[in-house]
């Protein structure tokens, strides 16, 4: 029996459409979202049975990109037969908005390597909330994803201050024009050392080409808390409004594995992470070139270390469970006998 109406629930975050008793949800950040809303309205206003059937078919396709991906991809993805898509050999489904992006890449004949590598890094992130938040954040702010799956973000910093060892007074490195006596504007370069505007226990010395990190367990993973512990990076719009007129804007690479939280405030323009890799100064001179390949050499070792720690923790947990089970069996045996 043909539905008289299609029910569509629209919120700030997503749109849910009820089709033939099945709820299908898409993020408001998806490019097809406005088309979906428009088609639902057209269906509810049309008496043309043929057109209504056509609209429903179009909506099913727009709301279920997973099936198309399995048919058109190179075998790297698996469809569960309902509405979920997985990277082959993994157990976490792709978020709807990311599945739609992959489908767009397939239809535009763009290599999937960057998105696949991005998702692999994200699967290594221990916080499942980040897996749902991050890609939408990057899409919203136009952060590029590199071939190896990292993404480019920005950080506002200041030149690290120097102090006289004897007096403790700040050393001001200022130059003046010998003819006019006017102060020469400082040109930022890669030989300088930088520091964040907010003091903390980690990342107080920042150098281009050197990873900045802090223990993940010391970062605040709650996205509802605005400003908290962690290494902060953001969009270009955010960092330009942060700091001061003498701030230095660093371009940094971040692994999705190291994202800790995407705060719900600031219109999704900043995030907390436990590591980033400064690659250049966007408003200064860069004598050396740093690429994602430079960072990946370091990151590969960190991944191996994290996996080893994860394995050791799991073995410890299993041993504890086995001991608890052994104890419970012993007690139950004593009670039964």
The answer to whether the CB of 143 falls within 8 A of the CB of 152 is: yes
pLDDT (0 to 100) of residue 295: 94
pLDDT, one tens digit per residue, over 130-177 is 988 888 788 878 889 999 999 999 999 988 877 667 776 766 666 776
Most confident among 69-73, 180-184, 218-222 (mean pLDDT): 218-222
Question: For residue 108, with 0-12 CB atoms within 10 Å meaning exposed, 13-18 middle and 19 or more buried, which class applies?
Answer: exposed
pLDDT (0 to 100) of residue 171: 63
Q: Range with the lowest mean pLDDT among 79-83, 144-148, 315-319, 330-334?
A: 79-83
Q: Range with the lowest mean pLDDT among 33-37, 71-75, 145-149, 275-279?
A: 71-75
> How many C-beta atoms surround the C-beta of residue 297 within 10 A?
9
Share of residues in the chain with pLDDT > 90 (%) = 30
**C-alpha torsion 210→216→222→223, nearest 10:** 30
pLDDT (0 to 100) of residue 266: 64
Exposure class string for 224-242: b at 16+ Cβ within 10 A, else e: eeeeebbbbbbbbebbeeb
Is the pLDDT score of 20 beyond 80? no
Residue 206, CA distances (Å) to 97, 184, 276, 290 in order? 34, 24, 10, 15
pLDDT (0 to 100) of residue 291: 92
Most confident among 137-141, 182-186, 291-295 (mean pLDDT): 291-295
Is the pLDDT score of 72 beyond 90? no
Question: For residue 187, with 0-12 CB atoms within 10 Å meaning exposed, 13-18 middle and 19 or more buried, which class applies?
Answer: exposed
What is the phi/psi pair of residue 105, to 5°? -60, -40
pLDDT (0 to 100) of residue 22: 77
pLDDT (0 to 100) of residue 275: 96
pLDDT (0 to 100) of residue 284: 81
pLDDT (0 to 100) of residue 125: 93
pLDDT (0 to 100) of residue 215: 93
pLDDT (0 to 100) of residue 69: 67
Radius of gyration of the chain (CA): 26
Residue 74, CA distances (Å) to 66, 109, 149, 198 in order? 14, 12, 18, 47
Q: How confident is the model at residue 29 (pLDDT cuts 50, 70, 90)?
A: low
- What is d(CA 174, CA 185) in angstroms, rounded to the nearest whole number? 8
Coil, helix or strand for 1? coil
The answer to whether the CB of 193 falls within 8 A of the CB of 203 is: no
Most confident among 59-68, 196-205, 283-292 (mean pLDDT): 283-292
pLDDT, one tens digit per residue, over 147-156 is 999 999 999 9
- What is d(CA 291, CA 296) in angstroms, rounded to the nearest whole number? 9
pLDDT (0 to 100) of residue 230: 92
Cross-strand pairs, 253: 152, 277
What mean pLDDT comes out for the span 29-37? 80
pLDDT (0 to 100) of residue 70: 61
pLDDT (0 to 100) of residue 122: 93
Q: How confident is the model at residue 261 (pLDDT cuts 50, 70, 90)?
A: very high
With a CB cutoff of 8 Å and minimum separation 6, the contacts of 195 are: 157, 158, 159, 160, 161, 204, 205, 206
The dihedral through the CA atoms of 261, 161, 206, 242 has a sign that is positive
Average pLDDT taken over every residue of the chain: 84
- What is d(CA 96, CA 70) in angstroms, rounded to the nearest whole number? 14
Q: How confident is the model at residue 101 (pLDDT cuts 50, 70, 90)?
A: confident
pLDDT, one tens digit per residue, over 212-257 is 999 999 999 988 887 889 999 988 888 877 666 678 999 999 999 9
With a CB cutoff of 8 Å and minimum separation 6, the contacts of 76 are: 87, 88, 112, 116
pLDDT (0 to 100) of residue 83: 67
Exposure class string for 127-164: b at 16+ Cβ within 10 A, else e: beebbbbbbbbbbebebebbebbbbbbbbbbeeeeeee
Is the pLDDT score of 1 beyond 60? no
Is the pLDDT score of 276 beyond 70? yes
Is the pLDDT score of 197 beyond 70? yes
């Amino acid at each position: 029996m043909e539905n008289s109406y299609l029910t569509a629930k629209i919120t700030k975050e997503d749109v849910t459409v009820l089709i033939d008793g099945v709820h299908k949800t898409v993020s408001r950040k998806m490019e097809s979202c406005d088309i979906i809303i428009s088609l639902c309205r057209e269906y509810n206003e049309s008496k043309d049975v043929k057109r209504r059937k056509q609209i429903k078919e179009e909506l099913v396709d727009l709301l279920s990109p997973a099936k198309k991906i399995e048919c058109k991809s190179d075998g790297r993805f698996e469809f569960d037969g309902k509405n979920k898509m997985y990277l082959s050999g993994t157990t976490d489904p792709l978020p709807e908005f990311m599945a739609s992006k992959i489908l767009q890449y397939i239809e535009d004949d763009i290599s999937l390597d960057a998105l696949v590598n991005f998702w692999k890094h994200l699967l290594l992130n221990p916080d499942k909330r980040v897996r749902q938040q991050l890609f939408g954040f990057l899409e919203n702010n136009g952060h590029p994803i590199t071939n190896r799956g990292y993404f480019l973000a920005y950080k506002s910093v200041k030149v690290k201050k120097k102090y006289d060892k004897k007096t403790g007074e700040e050393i001001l490195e200022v130059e003046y024009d010998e003819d006019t006596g006017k102060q020469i504007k400082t040109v930022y370069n890669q030989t300088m050392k930088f520091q964040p505007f907010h003091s903390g226990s980690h990342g107080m010395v920042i150098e281009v080409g050197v990873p900045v990190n802090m223990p993940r367990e010391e970062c605040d993973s709650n996205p509802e808390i605005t400003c908290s512990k962690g290494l902060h990076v953001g969009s270009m719009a955010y960092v330009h409004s942060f700091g001061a007129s003498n701030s230095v804007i660093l371009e940094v690479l971040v692994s999705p594995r190291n994202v800790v939280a995407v705060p719900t405030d600031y219109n999704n323009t900043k995030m907390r992470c436990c590591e980033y890799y400064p690659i250049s100064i966007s408003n200064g001179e860069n004598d050396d070139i740093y690429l994602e390949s430079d960072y990946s050499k370091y990151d590969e070792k960190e991944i191996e270390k994290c996996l080893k720690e994860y394995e050791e923790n799991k073995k410890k947990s299993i041993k504890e469970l086995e001991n608890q089970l052994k104890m419970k069996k012993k007690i139950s045996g004593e009670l039964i006998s």
